[in-house]
Amino acid sequence: MFKKINKIYNIVKYFKNKTRNIINNLNIKVYISGRIISKRIMKNNIFFNIQDIESNIQILAIKNYLNKKYIKRINNSNIGDIVYINGMLFKTKTNELTIKCIYFKILVKIYKHLPDKYYKLKKKEKKFRKRYLDLIINNKTKNKFLLRTKIIYIIRKYLNNNDYLEVETPMLHTIPGGAISKPFKTYHNKLNIKMYLRIAPELYLKKLIIAGFTKIFELNRNFRNEGVSRIHNPEFSMIEIYKAYSNYKNIMNLTKNIIIYIKNNIFKKKKYFNLNNKKIFLNEKFRIIPIKKAIYKYSKYFNNIKELNNKKIIKKVAKKLNINTKIKISKIIEKIFKLTTEKKLIQPTFITKYPIDISPLSLNNKKNKKVADRFELFIGGIEIANGFSELNNYKEQKKRFKQQKLINKNYKYDKEYIEALKYGLPPTAGVGIGIDRLIMIFTKSSSIKDIILFPILKKKINFKKL
């Protein structure tokens, strides 16, 4: 039945829970390659373990049983060498799944010793710069990135199952459109034009909705030439999702459903996720709180919620928090929220009713035109998603772009997008979800660097010091 099995993970998966008698009577021959991670000699027997990215398995070489040239090869092998083995699968008296070696070959010798797996890589910077070593010796790191892959697969699966079409839009833009952030600049020699690495795919995706697509998403990299911190990396993964004939409440529900779907499919038995010693419960109940109510509840700077409509009181609070009081009141409110409230939103919370003048691409609320039909999702004190009903009136959108231009002289708006809006954007809602930050929650990672394989680092590499 089992003639050839050539992957360590499959061997462990299929036979780990089988009884010793069943495995030892099946005569299962396996052919595997991997890296030696441990080696020990016990009189007539040589035990060593080899691993691939997903699993590891014990190998037994019996000196009296194995060809002398293979014993010589095994003796000449070191921890870290990449080898090829074939042999018979069995379970030892201690019930450990093992391969009795019949053939052994060193495929690649290593020229530097691996760090001691028990002491791991102590310096975080060394872990990030030499991620390949971190993945070889540290199972926790390896498991985080395997989880990352599964989470991204599950997100795509959910959207595909709900008839969303995955699309691709340019990463090189002639105008840094979408979000209001500082872009990375580059230059196209042949076309003789300045270009920018994309801040967000938003405007291109909405052009596709205008074109007739109704449910689309793009999961890809964005680039923002800004600070590096615990939750910021200049290059990051984000998914943007757009649905025609919907509003921000529909897309808010979709965002929640995606997160619940990940939890139910990958972490079925997990009751909560622990981040920075705080328990996060990802159940069906996500709170919805207007931004002013959240500030009043968590900041303790206001005696009642009505004070958040009083410019003098707001500016007094701003001075206490060293916020520039010459900027717009809506911008001050946003900064007060970030400084006093954001980090306290540990359980999943949708913040709504953002001021319209800090939401230039959002549709006005019908009952209160000063407020946007917009939400941001916070989990573990981190912003995870930003979504809204899309503004589809080209005149109003042009007016708002020009207002942004007055605030920031370097701001450039996409005139092609205004032109596209003239052809009619159906009632649409969209959301951008930070994949890296979401994975931080699911993998209990306190820093974004922990879940990006090769994060941007401040200092240049110095191999002598490492």
- Judgement on whether residues 78 and 187 belong to the same structural domain of the protein: no
Least confident segment among 112-121, 125-134, 145-154, 215-224: 112-121
Beta strands across the sheet bearing 172-173 = 172-173, 193-197, 185-188
The Cβ of residue 298 has, within 10 Å, a number of other Cβ atoms equal to 16
The mean pLDDT value for 281-288 works out to 94
Q: What's the total number of domains in the chain?
A: 2
Least confident of 149-163, 180-194, 232-246: 180-194
Asked if the model's pLDDT at residue 2 lies above 60, the reply is no
Residue 191 lies in a domain: yes
Q: For residue 260, is it within any domain?
A: yes
> From residue 451, how far is each of 81, 141, 233, 438 by CA, in Å?
27, 8, 11, 10
Q: What is the pLDDT of residue 1?
A: 39
Find the mean pLDDT for residues 38-67. 93
| Residue 63 within any structural domain of the chain | yes
Angle between the 139-161 and 248-266 helix axes, to the nearest 10 degrees?
Answer: 130
> 163 — alpha (psi -120 to 50), left (phi > 0) or beta?
left
Q: Which amino acid is at 146?
A: L
What would the pLDDT profile of 264-278 be if each residue is shown by its tens digit? 999 998 999 999 999
User: According to the per-residue pLDDT averaged within each range, which of 9-13, 39-43, 153-157 is highest?
Assistant: 153-157
Question: Residue 139: which of 160, 154, 117, 155 has the closest Cα?
Answer: 117
Instruction: Write the CATH number for 422.
Output: 3.30.930.10
Task: Check: CB of residue 257 under 8 Å from CB of residue 385.
Answer: no
**In this structure, is residue 129 part of a structural domain?**
no
Q: What is the pTM of this model?
A: 0.93
Residue 125 resides in a domain: no
Look up the domain containing 174 and give its range. 137-286+348-451
Do the domain assignments include residue 442? Answer: yes
> What tokens does 13 get?
């998966």
Instruction: Verify that 155 and 78 share a domain, yes or no.
Output: no
pLDDT exceeds 70 at position 466: no
